[in-house]
Structure formats: structure tokens, C-alpha cells
Structure 1
Amino acid sequence: MSSLKSEKVAEMYDATGEIGLYLISDNQLHFGYWDENNRDANVGEGAERLTQMMIDKSEILQGERFCDLGCGVGVPAMRIAKAKGCFVDGITISKYQCNKGKDLAEEAGMSDQVRFIQGNALEIPCDDAIYDGGWFFESIFYMGHSEALREAYRILKPGATLLIADLITRPNTTEEFKKFAKEELDSDHIPKEDYPGLLDEAGFDLIEIDDITEFVMPFMFSRLKAGFKQHEAEVLQYVKSEEINGWLQVFENVCDNLGYILVKAKKRVRS
């Protein structure tokens, strides 16, 4: 991620208007998962379900070190730290997210277990091979997949598990949307089929790719719209109604054009 691009992503997440999304999503700024067990769940509950799925896929052990690459305000980081008894470093390019994460960790009494670093996840200020596991939770498309995987390889120990929640292109993804995503959302999306080669090139062995598009994209927009309606009075303290409509149009466009996968891989142990 170039310095200019990282600045634009930071500005996007630092923007006061984004507070509306934090309110609606219970501070979990990622998509949700809905099936027959939680069909009526709201955005925050759906996001919590997806966080738990990521935690369940992790192989991190008690007392080990985990890295959340693009951590938002750190709720998933705190969830995995509590569930697994591990120590988590969350890195975010956003000053707002970093400070909010620190506040939330302190409120939860987890400051000794979960810490936050403001910086570029492609240039993590740490030694090589120090983490026992990590994830990109809806963040890798901002960084560039090859570059992000190379940095993950550098910081993870041999045999460590890497998890990725990613928004992918589909056969119906339009060229117009790809251009919009790159120019307006500062994100690059790839098809699912690119993952095996990218992981292999970066030094990871692919364990599984779970395509959960059908449980995410058909529901996200309607749940988000309902969330904005429910919290309208609170959100309008920070943004104008036309800005809310603009956000909703973007999310509808994203849900129409992209799919959603969960990827599990291991850093190759070289002989």
C-alpha cells in the first residue's frame, strides 16, 4: 500500500461520518453471516457470528501471539484473545481506530492482552517470525494481496495459521464496479481462483477456501438499511441523511458485485 493510498484509507476510517457504521455494527466494522439459525439477526449480531466463525477456524493456543492485520477498533481482536487466551497485536492505519481500540480494551480490562499499533500493515514494526497466527479480516483488499501475503509470511512463524476474510470478484462483477472500487474505495478485488497461486508464491500452503457468499451478500444491504433506520436519530448527529443514502448505495453496489470467502492457510515449514 503506497503512502498516498494508506493516507486515503486512513482518512476514510478517521472520518467522523464513519461513526454511524460503528453504532450500527456494535463496533464490528465488517460484514455479517446469516443462515437458518440467525435469519433475523441485525448487522451487529451477523457480524458477531462471522467473527466467531473466524475464531473457530483459528488454531492459536493459550499464551501464543496473534496479529490482527487491519484490526478496525479491535472487537474481533478482543474476541479471539478472550476465547483462546492468546495475546493479540492489532494494527490499523487509522488514528481513530487505534485510539478507540485502546479505549475499548481498557474498558474490557484487556489492555495487557490486546494492544494496538497505528501503522501500515505492510510495514509492521516487528522482528521476523514472531507471531503464532494472524488474520486479515476484510482488510487485505486495501493492501494488495501479494504485498500483504509477503508481510504476513515475514511476521508469522513456520507452521503458523493465517486466516483471510475477503471480498472477491464474481463472474457478474462489472468493469464499472472494479474501476469504482479502485478509484473511490481504494480497494482491489480478485477472484477466488487466484488464491491458490498467490498463497503458494508467498510461501503458504492452502488448507481451505470456504465460499460463504450466499450467507452474506443477499442479506447485508437490507440489514444495514434497517440498522440505519433504527439508529437514525443517533447517526444524524454526525452525518446528513444524503450521506447515509450515499453509503447505502455503495453497500448495495458492493453486495451486487462481490462475493465473500474465508481462507485458511499455513506458513510453509521449509526443510
Structure 2
Amino acid sequence: MVSGLGGGYFEIRVDMGNVWTGPSSRSEISEIESAYNELAVLVEETAGPDRHYGFWTGPHDDASIEEATERMTDVVVSRLGAGPGSRVLDVGCGNGRPAVRVARTLGARVVAVDVDREALRNGAEHARAQGVAEMVEFRHVDAMRLPFADASFDAVLAFEVTPHFDVTALYRGIARVLRPGGRLVVETPYLRVPMTEEIRERIGPYLTMLNAVSFDSPEEHSAAARQAGMAVTELVDVTENVRDSFPRLVSGLRERRARLEAERGVPGAARLLDVFAAWADTAEVGGVVMTFTRMEH
């Protein structure tokens, strides 16, 4: 069962076979970094510095994509259960906006990790600009090899990074560094129906472009979390709230088509736009915010 933001409940029915299997069992760190470096400037110019979905309250919500992505940050941050004195881990922190927001709004100390060195530099600059440089530590770390002591964090957050990993292994590592009673909050896209070859053909190029290796259902996330010793606290379907994110991004990219053609050539620009448009037009892709709690030993 999945809770809605309004407090009601509805059921997500998803086949357990919704796994995207990319070209390898796990992307190389350098490949992920290269993929994001190549797309980062382009996407940030179009959709702002946050590298995750925006959150709109309904069809009459005229918030900008920058406002909506910050709102999504607050949806996740509000579920961490952290406060002054807490230690929070941001896995796949990107440009560090959520990490900085955790420090500013909750007063918690944050360790923000990513494999994208340029994004880490941007995050550190943003933390300094916001006056929380001493509260947010940015580190170049592989999320599958977290170099932290057991039970050393009170909460963990992860924005749209799980497609890069085998979630069973990822959650096992996160649970190890999370104290008993601490929370993991994950925001991610998911496939609302069983994977078919037709869907695979449409969204495969996008997932491959980002070096994604899995595309798991909420049920698969929940099973992996339980195996790692975490209980499922809440699953919130945000599909309708995030639906505008990629159409807006594609619209912005199309406005920059001349620049894309100058940088990538006409065929390259067309391919890039087609890949983003196919993802944006795939109604079968939804969004979910999941909260897991580390069980007592």
C-alpha cells in the first residue's frame, strides 16, 4: 500500500519483473561521471541546478521548475526526521542543493557524496555562499563503498540515484552506516507497468545515456530494504506531481536547438532531443518517494 500526500491510501500494482538491465552489471564510476559532466551544463541551464524532479501541486500550479525542484527537496527533507545535532548522509548529492538545504533548514550536519567532482566543487561553493560551509562536507565517494563507520548517520537521503546501482547491495551498505531508528528517504522514477520490449525501446536510450543499470519497482525497493534490515515506513506515489518535469526540460532544450546543433551537429542534436522526448512522453514512468527506517538489532 502507498500513502498519498493528502493522507489517503491507494495501491500500486507493479509486476516484480520491471528491471532495466543495462550494458553491464554495474556502471563504471568514470562512465557515470562523464555522462553527467556532458549533460550537466545543458540541463542546468534549462531546468536549474537541482538534478531531480520538480513537484507541482496540480494543473493550476504555475511554479517554475526551479521552485518545483526546491519543493521536491522539501518533500524529501521533511521525512528525514533530522534536526540540530543530527548527522545526515546525502548519497549522490549532485550540486549539493539538498545537502545545503538540510543544513540550513534542519540545522543538521551533512556529509554529501558523489562521483562527479565538478558537481562536488559546485556544491562546496554553494555551501559557502549560503553560509553553511562548516556544516556540509563534500566527498568524492563511491556509494557502493561507503567509507564510514557502522551506525554513524542519523538519516540518509538519495535523490534519483538508485537506477545506477543494484539496490540490494546499495541498501545493505546504507543500512550499515545508518543508526537503528534512523531513516533513509529515497526519491526516484519507477516503471508503473511490467517492462515490455516496446517500452524498453523507448526508454532504453535514455537509461543507457545515464549509465543506469536497474529500474526497480517500489516493491523491489521495499524487498531490498527489508533484506538490509530496514522497515518500510512510507511509500508516496508522486507521479502526478512530477509529470511536468521532463516536458518542461524538453521544451527548454528545443528552444536551444540551434546551440545543440552547433555543438553536436544536426544529427547529434536530433538524437539527444529524441532521447529526452521519448522519456518525457512515456506515461508508464512514474515517481515515488520512499521512507525506510533502520530496525533495531
With the length of structure 2 as denominator, give the TM-score of the two structures: 0.81
Percent of residue pairs identical: 23
Deviation at 1:245, TM superposition (A): 4.9
User: Residue in 1 aligned with 2:15?
Assistant: none
Q: Matches of 1:81 and 1:185 in 2, distance apart?
A: 29
Q: Match of 2:96?
A: 74
Matched letter for residue 264 of structure 1: T
- Indicate how the Cα distance of structure 1 residues 56 and 240 shifts in structure 2: closer, same or farther if over 3 A, else same: same
Q: Name which of structure 1's ranges 53-62 and 64-73 shifts more when overlaid on structure 2.
A: 53-62
The residue number in structure 1 matching 2:288 is: 261
2 CA distance for matches of 1:56 and 1:148?
Answer: 23
> Any idea what SS the aligned residue of 1:88 has?
strand
Quote the Cα distance in structure 1 between the aligned partners of 2:60 and 2:259: 25
Aligned 1:87-236 pairs, distance under 5 A = 87-171=109-193, 173=195, 174-177=199-202, 179-180=204-205, 183-187=208-212, 188-217=214-243, 219-228=244-253, 232=256
Unaligned runs of at least 5 residues, structure 1: none
Indicate the larger mover: 188-197 or 233-242: 233-242
Q: Secondary structure at the match of 2:88?
A: strand
Change (3 A) 1:237 1:167: same
User: In structure 2, what is the Cα distance between the partners aligned to 1:112 and 1:22?
Assistant: 26
Query: Which residue identity lines up with residue 9 of structure 1 in the other structure?
Result: I
Which residue matches 1:6?
29
1:238 Cα offset (Å):
9.4
Q: 1:103 to 1:253 in 2, by over 3 A?
A: same
The 8 Å contact of residues 24 and 43 in structure 1, kept in 2 or not, is answered as no
Q: Is the 8 A contact 2:185 2:292 kept in 1?
A: yes
**What count of residue pairs does the alignment treat as equivalent?**
267
TM-score if structure 1 supplies the norm length? 0.88
Distance 1:169 1:104, change over 3 A: same
Q: Runs of 5+ in structure 2 lacking a partner?
A: 1-23
| Cα shift readout 1:171-210 (whole Å, capped 9, x = no counterpart) | 1642334644554332110122223322111110001110
Q: Corresponding residue for 2:13? A: none
User: Could you say what the CA RMSD is over the residues aligned between the two structures, in angstroms?
Assistant: 2.6
1 CA distance for matches of 2:26 and 2:223? Answer: 27
SS of the equivalent of 1:193 reads: helix
Q: Does the CA contact (< 8 Å) of 1:67 and 1:134 recur in 2?
A: yes
Cα 1:4/1:37, change in 2 over 3 Å: closer
Structure 2: distance between partners of 1:235 and 1:49: 30
- Compared with structure 1, are the counterparts of its residues 122 and 104 closer, same or farther at alpha carbon in structure 2 (3 Å cutoff)? same
Distance 1:235 1:28, change over 3 A: farther
Instruction: Measure the CA separation in 2 of the matches of 1:154 and 1:189.
Output: 23
Structure 1 residue 19 corresponds to structure 2 residue 41: yes
Q: Distance in 1 between matches of 2:205 and 2:250?
A: 21
When residues 184 and 221 of structure 1 are mapped into structure 2, their CA distance, relative to the original with a 3 A threshold, is closer
* Larger RCO (CA under 8 A, 6+ residues apart): 2
Tell whether the 8 Å contact from 1:221 to 1:248 is kept in structure 2 after alignment: no
Q: Distance in 1 between matches of 2:163 and 2:273?
A: 20
Describe the shift of the 1:172–1:238 C-alpha distance in structure 2 as closer, same or farther (beyond 3 A). Answer: farther
Q: Name which of 36, 40, 47 aligns with 2:58.
A: 36
CA distance in 2, matches of 1:63, 1:126: 18
User: What is the one-letter code of the residue matched to 1:184?
Assistant: M
